[in-house]
Amino acid sequence: MRGSSVLKNVLLASALGLSAYAVSSADARNHSGLAMGWYVAVEGGASWIEDADGTVDIGPNTFPFEAQFDTGWAVLTEAGYRFESNWRVEFELGYRDNNVDCVSFNGGACGGLDADVSQFTQMVNVLYDVPLTDNLTLSLGAGFGGDFVTADTPFFKQTDFVVAGQLIAGLNLALTDSIDLFVNYRYFVAEDPHFDISPFVEAGFDDAKHTVTIGLRFDLDADEPEYAPASAPSAMGPPPPAPTGEPKRYVVFFGFNKANLTLKAQAVVAEAAATAKQQGSAAILVTGHTDTIGSNGYNQILSERRADIVKHELVRLGIPANSISAVGKGKTMLLVQTPDHTWEDRNRRATIDLN
C-alpha cells in the first residue's frame, strides 16, 4: 500500500527514540524562564485523511480500492508536565471525524459512498520547547499510542484498535503568566485497520492524516504570591530609601518550581533598573533563592535560573551585562527559617542589590 508500512515504522521508531532521548536529557539545563510544572490544554481544528489504498477480501479474491475523504474536524485535550530542561511529557486524548467523499475500485471512477470514519486516539507525547522571544516558543515532538478506528458504512459498522504514532510542531504565545495560546500541526499514522465484515469478507485501508488545531494551555501550578515578606521591599512598588552609602535591595518572588517573571516581578526589576541608572550603580548583585522542597542539587540549579532570568531582564532594560553578577544560593539562605522539604512562598525569591 504505497510503501506506507515503511513510513509508519520509521515514524513509530522516531517517536519511541525521542521519548528515550527526553528521559536521558532530563538533567539538561537552560535559562529560558519558561513556566514549569503541571498543565492542561484543550484544542480543536481540522483533520484531513490522506487518500487511502485498501482492499476488500471476499474469500480467495482480493479487490483493491482507493478512498477519498472530506475535510473533517478534530478535538483534543492534554494533561502534562514541563521539566526545567524545557522538555514536556503529556498524555493526549483526541477525537477526529471524516466523511468518505468517494471510493473507486480497480482504478475506476470514484463513486460517492455514505460512510464515515471516526478515530479516538490515546497518545503519550514528548515535546521540546524552543524559546524564540520572551513570550513565544516553538514546540517540536512526537507521540506514540493507540487509535480506535471506527468505520461506519451502509454495509457494516466496526471498530479496530491499532498502534499509532505522530509528529508534532507548534507555536505557543504566552497570553498571561498561566495561559498560552498555541497552534499545532500533527502528522499522524497508524497501523492499517482491518474489519471482519463476515466470515468470508474482510476490509482494510491505509491510515495517515494531518491535523491543524488552535488551543489554550493552562498552567496549574501556583504563581507568584500576592504578598511580600515584611522584612523585604514590597513587590508592589519601590523599596524604602536606604541609608546613604548602603546598597539598595529589591526583591522579586517566584511561583513554586518556577523561574519565569510575573508582571509584578517585572515591575520590581524595572524599578531596580531605573534606580540603577539614576544613581549610576557600578555593580549589581542578583542572588537567587529557593524554598526547601527538593534536593540540594536541584534547588541550586533552580536558584541560578532565577538569578539569570532577573539578570536577563535587567540587561533588556538597558543595564550593562558586565556590571551585573548573578549567583544562586539554593536553599542555603532562607528568608523564613523552615525545616527541610517545607513549602514557603517567601523563600522562593531573587534579590537585586545595587552598589
pLDDT of residue 4: 47
Q: Which domains does the chain have, with CATH numbers?
A: 4-219 (2.40.160.20), 248-354 (3.30.1330.60)
pTM: 0.61
Percent pLDDT > 90 in the chain is 47
pLDDT of residue 114: 86
Which segments of 280-341 does DSSP mark as H helices, in order? 296-316
Q: What value does the mean pLDDT take over residues 260-285?
A: 90
CB 217 within 8 A of CB 256: no
Distance of CA 290 to the CA centre of its chain: 24
Q: Which of 167, 223, 211 minimizes the C-alpha distance to 46?
A: 211
For residue 20, pLDDT over 50 is answered with no
CA distance 20 to 46: 30
Please count the other Cβ atoms lying within 10 Å of the Cβ belonging to residue 226. 10
CA distance 50 to 52: 6
pLDDT of residue 199: 65
pLDDT of residue 35: 59
Q: Which of 320, 354, 316, 303 minimizes the C-alpha distance to 31?
A: 303
Strand partners, 47: 72, 211
Q: What value does the mean pLDDT take over residues 284-288?
A: 95
CA distance 319 to 315: 5
Q: Please, what's the b/e burial string for 181-203 (b: 16 or more CB within 10 A of its CB; e: otherwise)?
A: ebbbebbbbbbbbbbebeeeebb
- Secondary element (H or E) of residue 63: strand 61-69
Q: Which of 326, 250, 342, 232 minimizes the C-alpha distance to 290?
A: 342
pLDDT of residue 204: 66
Instruction: Provide φ and ψ at 272, rounded to 5°.
Output: -65, -40
- Please give the DSSP secondary-structure letter assigned to residue 331: T
What confidence tier does 245 reach under pLDDT thresholds 50, 70, 90? low
Dump pLDDT digits (tens) for 62-73: 788 788 889 999
What confidence tier does 234 reach under pLDDT thresholds 50, 70, 90? very low
pLDDT of residue 56: 77
Q: Please give the mean pLDDT across all residues of the chain.
A: 82
More confident residue, 191 or 13: 191
DSSP string, 169-232: EEEEEESSSSEEEEEEEEEEEEPPPEEEEETTEEEEE-EEEEEEEEEEEEE-S--S-S---TTS
Strand partners, 336: none
Ranges 107-116, 276-285, 297-306: which has the least confidence: 107-116
Dump pLDDT digits (tens) for 72-129: 999 999 999 988 678 899 999 999 999 988 888 877 888 888 889 999 999 999 999 9
What confidence tier does 151 reach under pLDDT thresholds 50, 70, 90? confident
- Secondary element (H or E) of residue 4: helix 4-24
